[in-house]
Every structure is written in C-alpha cells, then in structure tokens.
Chain A
Amino acid sequence: MSLFKYESELREPLVKGSKSYHQITEDLVAPIEVKPGKLWYIGFFIALCLLLFGVISVYTEVVYGIGQWNLNKTVGWGWDITNFVWWVGIGHAGTLISAILLLFRQGWRTGVNRAAEAMTIFAVMCAGQFPIFHMGRVWDGFFVMPYPNTRGPLWPNFDSPLLWDVFAISTYFTVSVLFWYTGLLPDFATVRDRAKTKLRKLLYGIASFGWTGSTKHWQRHEALSLVLAGLATPLVLSVHTIVSFDFATSVIPGWHTTIFPPYFVAGAVFSGFAMVNSLLLIVRKMMNLQQYITIGHIEAMNKVIVLTGSIVGVAYLSELFIAWYSGNRYEAYAFFYSRADLFSPLGWSYWGMIAFNVLSPQIFWFRKMRRNLFVTFFMSIIVNIGMWFERFVIIVTSIYRDYVPSAWTVYYHPTIWEMGFYIGTFGLFFTCFFLFSKYFPVIAIAEIKSIAKTSGDNHKWAVAPVEAKEPEVFAHEYAH
C-alpha cells in the first residue's frame, strides 16, 4: 500500500469506471484503431474547405498587397494583428496545463494535457501566419533571422519588441513541440505494440523512436519532463509578455501601459482555457472519453476561467482609472471617447468585451454552473468572442482616431480577404486537430495509468476503510 502516494477519498476520482491498466489502453487507443465516424469526416471536410478559402485569401493578399485588407496609414494594424494576438493567447493554455500544473502536482492535468498541448501547437501555427503575411513581402520574411548576409551585413534590430516576438514565438513553438512529442513517445509505443496492421506497426514504430519502457529511460524521461516544465513555465509567461511589449513599448495612447504584461498573460490563459473547454467537450463526446475527461476536469478549468476573467476585469478597471487619474488628455481621449463611449463608432466592441469577458464568466462562481456542460460550452464560445473583442479594442480603437482628425479612419472594416484569412486559420486549426484526434492518442495513456491507482474510483473505494482509521494508526502506516 505504501507503494502509492496516498490521496484522500474526498477528492473526486479523476478516472471513473474502475479501470484496469489494460482497459485504459483499450479505451484510449480505440479511436486510433477504428474507422472514424461520419461526424469526423464531415468535420474534417468542413475544416479543409475553410482552409482552402484561407489559402485563396492569402494568395490574393500576396499578389495584391496588404491594401487588400483595408489597412491604411491610420489603421495599420487591424484584424490581422488582432487575430495574431488572439491565436497566440489561445496557445497559452496547453503549456500552462502541461508545465505549470505539472510543477504544482495537479493530478487532473493528466486527462487534458495532451489535447491541450496539441491545441497550443496548432494555435501558435495559426498565430504565426498573421505577422508573416502582414510583412507584405512575405518572400523576404527570412530577413528577420540574424545571419551574416550580403546586405551589409544588415542585422535585425534586437532592440525592437517585434523581433523579440519572432524569438519568443518560435522558441515557444519549438519547446511546446518538443514537450508534446517526448510525452507522446511512450504512447506511440503502446499503439505500436498492439497494432494489428503492418502499416500501423511501421508508422507508429517510426514515431515511437523505438521506445521500450526501460526503467532507466523512464527515469530520464521524468527528469526531462520536469526540467522542460520548469523551462516552459517562465516561457509561457514570457511569450504573451513580449506580445504585450509590441504595444506597451510604443507611445500610442491606449498602448503605452505598464499593466500590459500581466494583463495579457491573464487574458491569454483565460481564452486558452475557454478554447480547451470547447474542444474537450466535443472530443470527450465524440470519442466516448467521459470517464477520463470528467465533469471534475471541466469544473477545474472553469475555476481557472473565472479567476483569470476577474483578473482581466480588474485590469480593465485599472486602465480606466489610470486614464482618468493621470490627467493625460490623450490617454483619457483614447479610453473615454474612443473606447468606453458606447456611441462612439467602435464603442460596441468595448462594451462587448466587458460583457463577454468580465460579467458573463462570473456565472462560474456557482458550482452548478461550473459543472453544467451546456453552460460551459456556451461560455467557452462567449469568452473567446470576448477575448477577440479585447484585442480588437486594444489595437483598433487606440489608432483609428489619430492625433489629426483629417487622418481619422472612423469606419474601419475588414475586407472579405482579411476575414477569409481569419476563417482560413480556423480551417488550419481544425484540420490539424481532426488529424490529431484520429491518429494520436488524445489522452496521455502512460500518465493516466500512473494516476489510476491513486485517483481512479476503484482506488477511492479501497481507501474508504483507511480513511476510517485512527489518526495515530494512519500516521504510522503512511509515514514515509
């Protein structure tokens, strides 16, 4: 008994249905081994169509330039950068779940980390498209890399937050992929060893890198995961901090704000968890994983949502307060006329943001609501719309009424091609996600097994008589 870490029966089981190790394997590998259902094909086809529309939109932009997006001198950053920040924000939950919650020893991460990490990687891929194509001359995009060249050598500007972004996002992407893939190795080996077809044995054999489950390898694997988690924790905080520097280091009223880094990071976690909720609610239903992604998992994520949503709310209020308290007329104009005035041209986006991000998540103070799947799904969509509004508010409302009224671009609206680009990234995201859900173990099999004996509900029953013991006896038996 002392082999396993003791966990109180009062904690909700994380794996339901009294699973044995073999049943866990059967359940979690099943989606890979059977043909996907009709819904999967329909979803995949729709995603591909959206992706195709995105490709056409990007093609138009590359050929005709970013004027195709209705960007102009005043509104130089519009939907594109809004979408970039939005996707990067969504890409924060995965690494937060896998890294920070690993360091905090949160058992519930094991049910959701694999899918959340995949979501992170795909979201960062989508995010990356926007700044790349916003460059205009995308064929010169490699100029951002610092390498000795024949142009001087002309080096990139290391003092610029835009270049920091290049490093932050590419590092984040690389580290997330490495973290994800090293975690996948043992699970690929599981799929490989029970594969019935030759093709599956070949492909998963290659993907598993010849993993055998040797104790020494596991020991190194654990050490690697822990250090990668330690590295990824400041990394995940740094990425959105640096994205916020894109704005905060400028001198535009509305952007020039020291509160941005924590405010952006909280917002990123907020939207990331909302997206994880939307996806997992679909995945657990589509693949019958209700016993692994339990209501308890969903509730835990809703708690994070209400926490980060409230942090974001405090940030909005502080911004307004400082705009008034600083006595700076330009700051006050940006906040009170361009944003918070409901009847200003883009005032709807500010109040949409407040309603969706700050007010509506407060519903999660109620346990019943946190555990209600319909409310959760609805709220996850609402939060993501709200977070899109937030980035739109920050970017566009700060710049569309310039210092000189003659330069105002009051009714900025995107063209079909700019919207198409955004829709196209949804296509990319869901195409990747559908492929992932078909060919990859969506839940970390080995990790679920490692908590099955402490957090499975069969163990919880076994623990009940232990709980009833006298404290002295208990302490004696469980002392390490």
Chain B
Amino acid sequence: MAKKKFVVASFDEEANLFPAVEKTRKAGYKIHDVYTPFPMHGLDQVMGLRETSLHTAGFIYGILGTCTALGCMSWIFVSDWPQIYDGKPHFALPAFIPITFELTVLFAAVGMVYTFCWLCQLAPFVKKHIFHPRQTDDIFVLAVECTPQTDVAELERFFDDKGTVGVEIQEAEAGWWWGRFDKEQQIINENAVEVL
C-alpha cells in the first residue's frame, strides 16, 4: 500500500454526518471511509456500499460442517469399524443428529469469524492509521481521499457548512501493516501522491 493524502472531516452529531456523507458522494469526491464509534444503521446505504455476503459464506461453512459430520460418522460406523451399539443399526441416523447439528454450528461460526477477520484485516498486531483519536469514542470521521484531480482547498471549503467540528489534511498509509499501537510506525512504500 501507499501513503495517501486525505481530507478528514470530523462530526459530533450523526444528524450532520449523514447529509455530509451524502453530499460528498454526490459531489463526486472519493470517500475513503467513514469511521464511527458504534454501528450506524443506514450509513452503508448512504455511502453506497453493497450488502455483505458474509451470510452466504456462513451458510456454505454450515453445509460443510453437516457433510463432514455425517460423512465421517457414517464412514466410521458403516465401513471402517462397524460395531453394534445398543442394538442400533450401523447407520443410526437419529443418533447422528446431535453431533451433526453441533458440527454444523461449529463450522459456520468458526468459518464466519475467520472470514470476517480476513475481510476486515483484523488480527493481533495488525495496525491501521487512526484518523482521529476519538473515532472510537464519540467522533464520527469522514475521510476523503485526495486524488491527483482533487482541489484540496476547495474540498476543505466544501465542509464549511456541513456542521463539522474539525477539518484537517492528513497524509497516511491507507492500508494495514504489522505493528504495535504503543509505537509510532508508518509504512511508506512510495512517496505521497503529489497534489497540484
């Protein structure tokens, strides 16, 4: 990833955030991301994000768990080591239901959490740029990426009447890197994009 230039607008009222995000998007600026201290329902639609397909992933993992459980138990009890327990048939489907159910849930849950962490790049020692120290507290942060075409001064003026509590320009790493939060680290692979 590379270091990029951002215009960062912070808000303390969600009532101001929503219209600001909408107008920024309509004005054609490239929204890098919006950071909120708690989930804001409807903000994803305003930003034009598509619905997540994490559910589908969960369903697939669940089916995988069902098949694993049924397949393994059937193979073990019917073919690998057939024994008669309690006078039940080798393929005792009703007795297999509890474990099948548990493994379905287990696979779906574990798989989804891993996928979630993978998609959001979440892991111990993962570090990302924090645009505002209170973005996990009470400040809503709208980070707009400056492309070579962006007129930064105009963009700053654009936020004048949007009810912000602060607008600043930051140069920061856009992606994630391995690091610790007690140390100042930045990954720079390229020079910051020159803005004319």
Chain A hits for B182, CB < 8 A: 198-199, 201-202, 205
A220 at the B interface (CB under 8 A): yes
B105 at the A interface (CB under 8 A): yes
Instruction: With both chains docked as a complex, state the minimum distance between the C-beta of B128 and any C-beta of chain A, in angstroms.
Output: 5
B125–A449 CB distance below 8 A: no
A461 at the B interface (CB under 8 A): no
Chain A hits for B62, CB < 8 A: 231
A406 at the B interface (CB under 8 A): no
Chain A hits for B154, CB < 8 A: none
A186 CA to B99 CA, complexed, in Å: 33
A455 at the B interface (CB under 8 A): no
Chain B hits for A217, CB < 8 A: 120, 122
B110 at the A interface (CB under 8 A): yes
In the complex, which residue of chain A has the Cβ closest to the Cβ of B35?
A: A213
B117 at the A interface (CB under 8 A): yes
A22 at the B interface (CB under 8 A): yes
In the complex, which residue of chain A has the Cβ closest to the Cβ of B36?
A: A213
CB neighbors of B among A199-241 (8 A) = 199, 201-202, 204-224, 227-228, 231-232, 234-235, 238
Proximity bits, A431-455, B CB within 8 Å = 1, else 0? 0000000000000001101100000
In the complex, which residue of chain A has the Cβ closest to the Cβ of B129?
A: A212
Most buried by B among A198, A199, A212: A212
Q: A171-B105, A211-B122, A238-B102 are in contact. Are A21 and B116 (CB under 8 A)?
A: no
Chain B hits for A209, CB < 8 A: 117, 122-124, 126
In the complex, which residue of chain B has the Cβ closest to the Cβ of A238?
A: B101
B121 at the A interface (CB under 8 A): yes
A159 CA to B98 CA, complexed, in Å: 10
Q: A174-B110, A211-B122 are in contact. Are A223 and B55 (CB under 8 A)?
A: yes
Chain B hits for A182, CB < 8 A: 113, 116
B20 at the A interface (CB under 8 A): no
Instruction: With both chains docked as a complex, state the minimum distance between the C-beta of B177 and any C-beta of chain A, in angstroms.
Output: 9
Please pick, from B44, B47, B125, B135, the residue contacting A212 in the complex, using a CB distance under 8 A: B135
Please pick, from A22, A199, A205, A218, the residue contacting B39 in the complex, using a CB distance under 8 A: A218
Chain A hits for B28, CB < 8 A: none
**B interface size (C-beta, 8 A):** 69
A25–B33 CB distance below 8 A: no
A158–B39 CB distance below 8 A: no
A466 at the B interface (CB under 8 A): no
Told that A174-B109, A235-B102 touch, could you supply 20 new A-B pairs with CB distance under 8 A?
Answer: A25-B37, A158-B77, A159-B86, A159-B92, A161-B98, A168-B102, A171-B103, A186-B136, A190-B37, A190-B136, A193-B136, A193-B137, A201-B182, A202-B181, A209-B117, A211-B136, A212-B35, A214-B34, A215-B35, A224-B116
The interface of chain B, by Cβ under 8 A from chain A, is: 14-15, 18, 33-40, 42-44, 47, 49, 51-52, 54-55, 58, 62, 72-73, 76-77, 80-81, 85-86, 88, 92, 95-96, 98-99, 101-103, 105-106, 108-110, 112-113, 116-117, 119-128, 130, 133-138, 176, 180-182
The interface of chain A, by Cβ under 8 A from chain B, is: 3, 20-22, 25, 146, 152-155, 157-161, 163-164, 167-168, 171, 174-175, 178-179, 182, 185-186, 189-190, 192-194, 198-199, 201-202, 204-224, 227-228, 231-232, 234-235, 238, 242, 245, 446-447, 449-450
